Structures are given as C-alpha cells and as structure tokens.
Amino acid sequence: MANESKPISPLKNLLAGGFGGVCLVFVGHPLDTVKVRLQTQPPSLPGQPPMYSGTIDCFRKTLVREGITGLYRGMAAPIIGVTPMFAVCFFGFGLGKKLQQKSPDDVLSYPQLFAAGMLSGVFTTGIMTPGERIKCLLQIQASSGETKYTGTLDCAKKLYQEFGIRGIYKGTVLTLMRDVPASGMYFMTYEWLKNVLTPEGKSVSDLSVPRILVAGGFAGIFNWAVAIPPDVLKSRFQTAPPGKYPNGFKDVLRELIRDEGVTSLYKGFNAVMIRAFPANAACFLGFEVAMKFLNWVVPNL
C-alpha cells in the first residue's frame, strides 16, 4: 500500500509538475529526436542499407551533420507545451488520488494509484497532441533534406492554414491510447518504488535524492515499456502525408506489420529506454524539489 505523508494538493501538484516537466525535456530531448527519426525512417530499398542502422548510428549521424542543435531540433514545441502539460499531468494525478479518498488520511492501493495515473493521461492529451505533432514534423524535417517549416510557430501556423484545427490535433486518439495506460503505469510504479526504497522506520517524504532518481528513472522505463507500440503508430501517423492513412491507426498498424513485421512496433526501443531513465529521474527529482519548496513557502496551499 502507498503511504501518504501529507494531504494531497492538486494545485501544488500542478506547479511542481510543470517544473518537473521542464527538467525532463532538457535531459531527454536529444534521445527523443533519435527515437522519432528511427520510428519514421522509410524502409530501405533492396540491397541498400537503412538510413540509420540503430540508436548510436542515428545519434552519431545527427551530431555530425547538424551539430548539437540537431539533437535539440523541435525542442521549442515541447518546452512551450511541457510546462502546462506536466503541470496538468501531475494535477490530474493529484486530483485522481483525491477523488478516491473518503478522508484525507486514506492510504490508496496500487490499483487506485494506477487509476489516478490514467486520469492524468486523459488530462494531458489536449496539450500533448499538438506539441507532439509539431515536434515530430520538425524532428524528421532535417533528416529529409526538406525545409518546409522554419520553427515551431511557423509549423503550427502552416498546419492550421492547410488543415485547420484538425491538422494540429492529428493523432489525438493514438496519443490517448499511448498515454492513458502508460501514465497509470508511470505513477503507480513511482509510488511503489518510493515505498520499496524507503528505509524501515523512515517517512517516504524524506527519501534521499539518489533513491528519488532511481524510483523516477525506473518509473520512466515501465511507462515506456507500455507506451512504445502506440507511440510508433502515433509518430508514423502524425508525420504521414495527408490522406495516406484514411482509416487512422488501423491502416498504420496494418502497413507496419505487413511491411516490417511485429518488431517494427518497437522501433526506437533502445533510444527510448536509454532516454527514459535519466529524463524521468530528472522529472521526478524536479517535482519533489519543487513540492518541498512549495510545502515550505505555502504549506496551506
């Protein structure tokens, strides 16, 4: 069972979650760029090598051709969106926990924490989808040799001009399919690991920085173990030319399995897993530090 050391404050979760999200993007974006490029690279022609042979090859080629800024391509979109997105994510988790408590002292079970985490995934989709759509388009643009968009705002403007609001929100269903179960796993695993790593007789709120990093890092790995297949489908769908997949993710899934086999649903797996630990460790550490600060500055918020 999970131990709650303080009454749940969705508002504090909102503020601390935003800070945690910024920490996550700065640490994790380079490998996110690698992940998207691996997921969206076209199949190689017979007798020709693929554009990227794997995570290290993609990382190296991006660094050589585009410099360090190439690894941070499209970061403005998640930075603009990540503060409110993670704020809403942690707010949704806090609200989900609070809604399941009959009294402030109730200790939630792990299935209840999973349910609260799934609610956070629903909350974030409205913010996450446009940012993911723009980020993916900018990340693959450089490797394609075509410069259609000059930046985040230009990409958003052109998408809206060409396709309206539906163009910006392309991939909403797949984002939901990815984030609802993955967020449940994310938060449940984090709370479970915090309890496991808390020394006997100590409070979970006094967990040391290294233990928070371990709990947050492994929570990120469990999250992505669930999220990778729908994330591959989402990346393909969001970067496809208009009209390529008229039946949505069903067409993407059918094409991937037909052309590249079931293992194609785990494209970018290495990049995701290498990124997941440090990025999510940074996220949860940022969240916990911000939460401690808020508890000190505004204890009754």
- CATH number for the domain harbouring residue 202: 1.50.40.10
Domain membership flag for residue 148: yes
State the pLDDT at residue 4: 47
Residue 249: pLDDT above 90? no
User: CB 21: neighbour CB atoms within 10 A?
Assistant: 27
Residue 139: pLDDT above 90? no
State the pLDDT at residue 269: 86
Residue 79: pLDDT above 80? no
- Residue 244 CA, chain-centre distance (Å), reads 25
Band (pLDDT 50/70/90 cuts) for residue 25 is: confident
Max mean pLDDT range (2-16, 30-44, 216-230): 216-230
Residues 6 or more apart in contact with residue 161 via CB below 8 angstroms: none
Residues 6 or more apart in contact with residue 22 via CB below 8 angstroms: 79, 82, 83, 86, 286
The CA-CA-CA angle for residues 293, 81, 241, to 5°, reads 160
73: containing domain: 10-42+49-226+283-297
Q: What integer best gives the mean pLDDT of the chain? A: 88
Count of structural domains, the chain: 1
pTM over 0.85: no
Domain membership flag for residue 236: no
- Compute the distance between CA of residue 268 and CA of residue 250 in angstroms, rounded to an integer: 20
Domain membership flag for residue 26: yes
Domain membership flag for residue 30: yes
State the pLDDT at residue 2: 45
Residue 6: pLDDT above 70? no
For residues 29 and 77, the answer to whether their CB atoms sit within 8 Å is no
User: pLDDT tens, 155-171?
Assistant: 999 999 999 999 999 99
Domain membership flag for residue 119: yes
Residue 151: pLDDT above 70? yes
AA letter at 61: K
Domain membership flag for residue 202: yes
Poorest-confidence range of 120-134, 135-149, 203-217? 135-149
Residue 76: pLDDT above 80? no
Domain membership flag for residue 270: no
